[in-house]
Amino acid sequence: MARIADLIAAGRTFSFEFFPPKSDMAQLTLGRTISELESLSPSFVSITYGAGGSTRQRTQQLVQWIRQETTINPMAHLTCQGHRRSEIFEILDSYASADVQNILALGGDAPADGSAEPSDYTYATDLLDDVLASGRFSVGVAAHPEVHPRSPSRESDRRFLAEKLRRADFAITQFFFEAEAYVRLVDELAALGVDKPVIPGIMPVTNKSQIERMAQLSGAAFPSWLAERLSTVDDPDDVRQVGVEVATELCARLLEAGAPGLHFYTLNRSTATREIYANLGLPVKG
């Protein structure tokens, strides 16, 4: 399996994100999604990592299953929430033994019920240091085109991101809906002397109420023009069609602007992503 830093250096990457299933039915859905998306020859896929212990175990199991049972290159999310350094070292050893070569080092969100375990880490930069020190992984970090919701200012957000990216190999952004937000982010990092690859994250709208909630939580702006465009449709298939059209337009503009790739937040479903692929004329196996 390849290191993501090498893949980006060789050309544009196209990748997907999944989350660990919480039930047998969800497991079947994800298995079908992975099978359907494998034909698109993704450069890599990423697996999210929750604040709870059981979710963390499922992340490791899913990452290792993908590595062993498919041709797909997995990247494991890892957060500093509720972790001792000894636990992180054990997880990294386990991934290295399974020939998993890519890690996304994140700050992570504390459990909503306030049940987070004590942690040896405060910020993503602390976790990043330990993952990099192991010397066994290509390491990415998160970026927020419209500023992290907990950042005190745009200036400080960009300064901290630049600090992370000086050491990491690449960044993947939170989802957003307007290409200008991404272009401005890249320009602001360049002004700080950082030109590491920043891969834009794409979230096709497939459920109006769900995407609005997710945008609010992530700090992503939900533009009025998009709300108006969605207000004309109610049928789920029509909503997905509008979402695919909007995402296709965004992807085309990002590629034209020089983005080093695209990272699709699939919500463990394949239809919208496959339709965007077809619209963009991206290669499909078979």
Which residues does the annotation mark as catalytic?
Answer: 17
Positive or negative torsion for Cα 253, 278, 268, 93: negative
Q: Between vectors from CA 47 to CA 45 and to CA 50, what angle results, nearest 5°?
A: 165
Per DSSP bridges, beta strands 198-202 and 138-143 are: unpaired
Distance (Å, rounded) from C-alpha 28 to C-alpha 24?
6
Please enumerate in sequence order all residues whose Cβ is within 8 A of that of 181, keeping only pairs 6 or more positions apart, or say none: 145, 146, 221
Compute and round to an integer the Cα radius of gyration of the chain: 18
CB 167 within 8 A of CB 128: yes
CB 45 within 8 A of CB 17: yes
